[in-house]
Amino acid sequence: MEKLFESMYQLVVETSTKLPKDARRAIYQAKLRENAGTRAAMSLDTISQNIIMAEENISPICQDTGLPTFKIKTPVGVNQLEIKEVIRKAVAEATKNGKLRPNSVDSLTGANSGDNLGDGVPVIKFEQWDKDYIDVRLILKGGGCENKNIQYSLPCELEGLGRAGRDLDGIRKCILHSVYQAQGQGCSAGFIGVGIGGDRSSGYDLAKEQLFRNLDDVNPNEDLRKLEEYIMENANKLGIGTMGFGGETTLLGCKIGVMHRIPASFYVSVAYNCWAFRRQGVKIDPATGAILEWHYQEGDDVDFSKKVEQAPAAVEGNDSPREVVLEAPITEEQIRSLKVGDVVTINGRMYTGRDAIHHYLMEHDAPVDLNGQIIYHCGPVMLKDEEGKWHVKAAGPTTSIREEPYQGDIMKKFGIRAVIGKGGMGPKTLKALQEHGGVYLNAIGGAAQYYADCIEAVDGVDLMQFGIPEAMWHLRVKGFKAVVTMDSHGNSLHQDVEKSSLEKLAQFKERVF
């Protein structure tokens, strides 16, 4: 049992901190395709640096380590209850050591268990088979991409594509639409697993199962093989690009599975995964619990360190992008001078604030003076040392659209001038930015090590009753870079990209299959 614990702990750490070879190759190919001097190129450089840093630091690639989901196949006679208990201990230990963020929250009370354990967590799915070894696969799928999962019930009407019928061509339309609707909120460029058929729950299970396939495999179903190739070619013509900034690569992988259904129901389920495609797998000796072999290690590895530029690429092809340094407190005049496309470097203080903080601030006073300050949509991975001092282990942005009901009101109420997140926000926030004099800054989603390296110190924390990810952390930063994507003049890059990608989506309306 001790050896099995070591094996499961190693699997959790490797999955959180080291991107598998097939995903690394896909990102490298995206870097080669991207036009130099664009926001997408800058984003891919940051992503590549982050992959290197996570592996070297043995720290989470992305701070949102999701709900650990294990898919396990065991020989006849293996005690699955023992395996489950060992996995729970390994997950708790990895959380304690800062390899996973404490993400398990009681759905009724909101209380965080603090160790990633709880009812139904981690997710463990067993299957018995006739092989003589245990096969364990793990995927860490964060909330940003999990929230962009989507399920279609055919026939249906799709924006930009018209009617999708109960046939292969209708399935094609659903998959293209699933990529369009994700935009940059799921940390594109991304990967998708598609499940055709089943019921509501089994369809999603089938879709997520496709994410465990190797990106280089060939679908044995000829119709699905052709459909996978079609989607990979044409989804990248939508122009959504990395982080939704526009660009040449929107989708890095597509895998499709099919199962039977009942006549009355026809579901197409799509599991969207961000570029931080954290899934690994091992073969385990059932007698000793030792790792016999690692999955996803086929093919050449990619040495990003030879390709990564330390300075961000120029925006929109300009040789010298406008770069502005900000330090709070920020004046309205400074904010009004910023325009979409500017690169902002932040030094000094910022405060984290996610869902619980925004809900709290709607009805309560802030624990600190937020006038002229910066709010960072971030739920970091934190560790406390023996002297009681907090250290940031991972600190990338979370998806901002969840705060849309609150953000504009909170900015006006407390005088907040800048908000940092990923994926952009909606019309209510954009209007508030105009009226109040505020700006939205898009950081690179998933780049948890890159941004943690910009944090010089943790100066304090408030509202810890909400748990580590949801507390308000006082961070002192240096050289923290982000791109202005919503300004105080009514401009939104996110709206522009969504509009242009919808126009491009419409070209795929006519029947193909």
Tens digits of per-residue pLDDT, 274-327?
A: 999 999 999 999 999 999 999 999 888 887 666 544 444 444 444 456 889 999
* Cα(321)–Cα(315) distance, integer angstroms: 6
Q: What is the rounded CA–CA span in Å between residue 282 and residue 295?
A: 6
Residue entry with tokens 């679908």: 219
Both tokens of residue 280? 């690994």
Confidence grade of residue 1 (pLDDT, cut at 50, 70, 90) = confident
> What rounded mean pLDDT belongs to the chain?
94
* CATH numeric code, 322-494: 3.20.130.10
CA count, 13 A, side-chain hemisphere, 274: 32
Task: Please report, rounded to a whole number, the percentage of residues in the chain having pLDDT higher than 70.
Answer: 96
Q: Which of 73, 29, 69 is nearest to 48 (CA)?
A: 29
Which helix (H) or strand (E) segment holds residue 209: the answer is: helix 200-210
The residue that leads in pLDDT, 166 or 312, is: 166
List the one residue out of 140, 134, 114 whose CA is nearest residue 23. 140
Whole-angstrom Cα distance, residue 103 to residue 115? 8
Write out the residue limits of the CATH 3.20.130.10 domain(s) in the chain: 322-494
Residue with tokens 């990810």, as numbered in its chain: 469
Beta-carbon count within 10 A of 391 CB: 15
Percent of the chain clearing pLDDT 90 (strictly above): 92
Is the pLDDT score of 335 beyond 60?
Answer: yes
